[in-house]
């Protein structure tokens, strides 16, 4: 590894070994895997992206489900979840003012319908789980591990359940529809990322990686093993090496796919007749050598 690192996520934990000089989140790794140019736009150019209605809805639903488990077990009912929707949206808009730009000034019906649609997704959650019977060990928890001595991999878990025998179940909420091939592969990549971190830091391979698709009230369970996670670790390291090479060469090429339909940067993409901005110059304080950004909001990858 020779190129200057693109450091993603929050500041490195104080406990990180001195050899660590770069970090990678599952979202940014999946970006590069999907389209190297998308990775550049998000992690190097730091181009702003206006939140979409779907992303905002996902963020809201995640926030409600996190707060739901703050209630006593008996109070974790559909009605209680519904009562959390409006207050959580108000909190999110206060903390992330850009969410307030989703609706035109004076629009009353739009926000009301938006809140109703979020409440409908919560009904899908209760169709597949009974939160009164669950006591999550961790929620919205940042986990990290060092691989290849120099690379810190990290991510935010929606939820981690620990069984009495110590078995781990990683749970991820998805507010989109039932999985299509491209989206399911990306979601499982994210969960394997978490599984690798847990295995390397706790010595336990999660027994279950669970995707909860709330819109269609479907559950997708996946069981990894140590051999698979070893292969996945090599994949992550290879991805980072490819990112370093692309950074050194300033060469991030587009990889057109059906996911382009959801990309916010088509106007700058050569595949759509656009031209990327000049590559950021290296230097002191350059984002290539010290780029730290706020972690993606829950639901942002929905």
Tell whether 71 is covered by a domain: yes
Alpha helices by DSSP H, listed for 96-177, are: 109-128
Looking at the chain, the whole-number percentage of residues with pLDDT higher than 90 is 75
Please choose, from the candidates 7, 21, 30, the residue with its C-alpha nearest in 3D space to the C-alpha of residue 193: 30
pLDDT at position 301 is: 44
Task: Give the pLDDT of residue 159.
Answer: 98
Give the pLDDT score at 205: 97
Instruction: Name the pTM for this structure.
Output: 0.84
pLDDT digits (tens, 9 = 90+) for 140-163: 999 999 999 899 999 999 999 999
Provide the pLDDT for residue 174.
Answer: 93
Average pLDDT over residues 270-281: 94
What is the average per-residue pLDDT within 22-39?
A: 93
**236-261 pLDDT tens trace:** 999 999 999 999 999 999 999 988 99
pLDDT of the residue at 182: 54
Contact 28, 39 (CB under 8 A): yes
Which pLDDT score is estimated for 73? 98
With respect to residue 277, please indicate whether it lies within any of the assigned structural domains: no
Q: Is pLDDT above 60 for 176?
A: yes
Give the pLDDT confidence score for residue 1 in this predicted structure: 32
Mean pLDDT, rounded, for 62-79 = 98
Asked if residue 252 is part of any domain, the answer here is no
Residue at 270 is within a domain? no
Question: Does the pLDDT at position 180 exceed 70?
Answer: no
The backbone torsions φ and ψ at residue 174, rounded to the nearest 5 degrees and listed phi first, read: -120, 125
pLDDT range class, residue 6, cuts 50, 70, 90: very low
- Residue 8 included in any domain: no
**Domain-embedded: residue 160:** yes
Tokens of 252: 């991030």
DSSP, collapsed to helix, strand or coil, labels residue 302 as coil
Q: What residues make up the domain containing 204?
A: 22-246+286-292
37 part of a folded domain: yes
The pLDDT of 56-79, averaged and rounded, is 97
The mean of the pLDDT values for the chain is 86
Burial of 32 (0-12, 13-18, 19+ CB in 10 A): buried
Judged against a pLDDT cut of 90, whether residue 5 lies above it is answered with no
Q: Look at 182 and 294; give whichever has higher pLDDT.
A: 182
The verdict on residue 259 lying in a domain is no
CATH of the domain at 202: 3.90.320.10
* Number of structural domains the chain divides into: 1
Do 215 and 176 form a contact (C-beta atoms < 8 A)? Answer: yes
């Amino acid at each position: 590894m020779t190129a200057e690192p693109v450091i993603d996520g929050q500041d490195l934990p104080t406990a990180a070994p001195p050899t660590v000089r770069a970090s990678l989140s599952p979202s940014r790794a999946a970006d590069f895997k999907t389209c190297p140019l998308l990775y550049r736009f998000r992690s190097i150019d730091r181009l702003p992206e206006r939140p979409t209605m779907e992303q905002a809805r996902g963020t809201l639903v995640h926030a409600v489900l996190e707060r739901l488990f703050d209630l006593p077990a008996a109070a974790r009912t559909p009605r209680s979840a519904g009562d959390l929707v409006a207050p959580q949206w108000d909190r999110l808009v206060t903390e992330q003012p850009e969410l307030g730009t989703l609706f035109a000034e004076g629009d009353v019906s739009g926000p009301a319908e938006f809140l109703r649609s979020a409440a409908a997704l919560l009904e899908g959650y209760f169709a597949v789980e009974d939160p009164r019977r669950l006591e999550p060990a961790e929620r919205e928890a940042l986990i990290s591990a060092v691989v290849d001595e120099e690379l810190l991999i990290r991510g935010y878990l929606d939820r981690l359940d620990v069984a009495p025998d110590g078995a781990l179940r990683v749970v991820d909420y998805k507010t989109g529809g039932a999985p299509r091939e491209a989206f399911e592969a990306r979601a499982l990549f994210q969960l394997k990322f978490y599984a690798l971190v847990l295995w390397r830091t706790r010595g336990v391979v999660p027994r279950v990686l669970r995707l909860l698709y709330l819109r269609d009230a479907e559950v997708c369970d996946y069981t990894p093993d140590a051999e698979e996670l070893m292969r996945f670790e090599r994949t992550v390291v290879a991805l980072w090496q490819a990112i370093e090479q692309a950074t050194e060469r300033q060469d991030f090429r587009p990889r057109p796919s059906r996911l382009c339909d959801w990309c916010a940067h088509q106007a700058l993409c050569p595949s759509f007749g656009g031209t990327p901005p000049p590559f950021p110059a290296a230097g002191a304080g350059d984002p290539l050598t010290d780029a730290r950004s706020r972690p993606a909001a829950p639901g942002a990858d929905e």
